Amino acid sequence: MTYGLFNAQERGTLFIGPGEKVYAGMIVGQNGKPEDVEINVCKTKHLTNTRASGSDEALRLTPPKILSLEQALEFIDTDELLEITPESLRIRKKILDPTLRKRASFKK
C-alpha cells in the first residue's frame, strides 16, 4: 500500500514499490540503524466521513532501490537469505516469524 510505504520511506531506503506482494520476514528496505526495525508496509489510511480541504494530498514515493544479484549477495547478513525467482530478487530473514526470531537471538 502506498500509505504504508510512505511512512516507511521516512525511516530509510525502500527496496519495493507499491503493489508488490510482501510477507512476514521479508526485508523491504534499509535503515541507518544497526538493529532491525519491524514495520507494516500494508497499513492503510483510516477512512472517516469528515474531510478537510487539502488534507488528502497525493502521497509521493521515492523510486525503490533495485538491487542486482551481486548487490543483494553483498547486502545479506548471516541471519538472512536471498530468494531468486524469474521475476524478482527478494531478501528475507531465515526465521520468518518475528517472535521466533527474537527467541533465537536471545539463545545466542
44-98 per-position pLDDT tens digit: 877 776 665 555 567 788 899 999 999 999 999 999 999 999 999 999 999 999 8
- Determine the length of the chain: 108
Mean pLDDT value of segment 98-106:
88
Radius of gyration of the chain (CA): 16
- 75 burial level (CB within 10 Å; 0-12, 13-18, 19+): middle
Residue 19 scores a pLDDT above 80: yes
**CA end-to-end span of the chain:** 35
- Provide the residue ranges of all domains of the chain, joining segments of one domain with +: 2-107
Predicted TM-score (pTM) above 0.75: yes
